[in-house]
């Protein structure tokens, strides 16, 4: 079934069409949700809430861009709202403005797989992880991130710079230790 017909059927509350749309995008979107949460269970909760929003708001999809990109944006927003609403993430999402750290031009050669790098990113504190994902992975500007998270643009830049510096330090430490199997979070 083509996407336009699938969307029309979903708008008619056709359960088979909704199941098909879910089947097409669920696995990819679970990965998106997992980037923002600290557990697969939380990611699955975000995914379900996100798809409820997708089906509820599908009439707002104008067909201007790719449907997957539209769904991704809903998943990212749902994940951010989930983080804001969960007590266990509240402290970790508090952003402190301590002036800007200079962004390092240090780009270490990365001798690890994408999966290993993604796991390293997941080890960042939730606030750093969220901003890093929004900026480096999703492509949001710091102005947009500030609006999404209700923080100052400078705070977004600072948190991103700190996240990047932590990742660089971890990558360097792990490459110096010659650990190719496990990328353990450095102890501070």
- The model's pLDDT over 20-33, given as tens digits with 9 standing for 90+, comes to 999 999 999 999 99
- Same domain? 61 vs 99: no
- Same domain? 78 vs 57: yes
- Domain C-terminal end among 66, 87, 108: 87
- Same domain? 54 vs 100: no
Domains in the chain, number? 2
pTM recorded for the entire structure = 0.73
Boundaries of domain holding 30: 3-87
Report the CATH number at residue 154. 1.10.10.10
- Residue 100 confidence (pLDDT): 37
Mean pLDDT of 154-165: 93
- Same domain? 114 vs 148: yes
- Domain C-terminal end among 53, 87, 121: 87
- Residue 13 confidence (pLDDT): 95
- Same domain? 115 vs 143: yes
d(CA 87, CA 130): 16
d(CA 140, CA 112): 25
Report the CATH number at residue 43. 1.10.1740.10
- Residue 1 confidence (pLDDT): 59
- Same domain? 102 vs 160: yes
- Domain C-terminal end among 87, 119, 139: 87
- Residue 126 confidence (pLDDT): 85
Q: HEC string of the chain?
A: CCHHHHHHHHHCCCHHHHHHHHHHHHHHHHHHHHHHCCCHHHHHHHHHHHHHHHHHHHHHCCCCCCHHHHHHHHHHHHHHHHHHHCHHHHHHHCCCCCCCCCCCCCCCCCCCCHHHHHHHHHCCCHHHHHHHHHHHHCCCCHHHHHHHHCCCHHHHHHHHHHHHHHHHHHHHHHHHCCCCCCCCCCCC
- The model's pLDDT over 99-152, given as tens digits with 9 standing for 90+, comes to 434 444 444 455 567 788 888 888 898 889 999 999 999 999 999 999 988 899
pLDDT band at 180 (very low <50, low <70, confident <90, very high): very low
- The model's pLDDT over 35-92, given as tens digits with 9 standing for 90+, comes to 998 889 999 999 999 999 999 999 999 888 899 999 999 999 999 999 888 765 554 5
């Amino acid at each position: 079934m083509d996407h336009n017909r699938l969307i029309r059927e979903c708008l008619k509350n056709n359960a088979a069409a909704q199941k098909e749309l879910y089947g097409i995008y669920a696995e990819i979107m679970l990965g998106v949700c997992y980037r923002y949460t600290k557990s697969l269970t939380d990611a699955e909760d975000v995914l379900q809430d996100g798809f409820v929003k997708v089906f509820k708001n599908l009439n707002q999809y104008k067909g201007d861009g790719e449907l997957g990109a539209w769904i991704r944006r809903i998943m990212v927003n749902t994940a951010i709202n989930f983080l804001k609403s969960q007590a266990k993430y509240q402290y970790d999402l508090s952003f402190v403005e301590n002036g800007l750290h200079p962004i390092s031009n240090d780009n270490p050669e990365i001798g690890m797989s994408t999966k290993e790098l993604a796991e390293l990113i997941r080890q960042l504190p939730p606030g750093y992880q969220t901003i890093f994902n929004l900026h480096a992975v999703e492509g949001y500007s710091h102005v947009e991130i500030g609006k999404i998270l209700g923080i100052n643009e400078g705070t977004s830049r600072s948190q991103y710079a700190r996240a990047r510096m932590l990742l660089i330090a971890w990558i360097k430490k792990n490459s110096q230790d010659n650990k190719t199997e496990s990328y353990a979070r450095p102890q501070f």
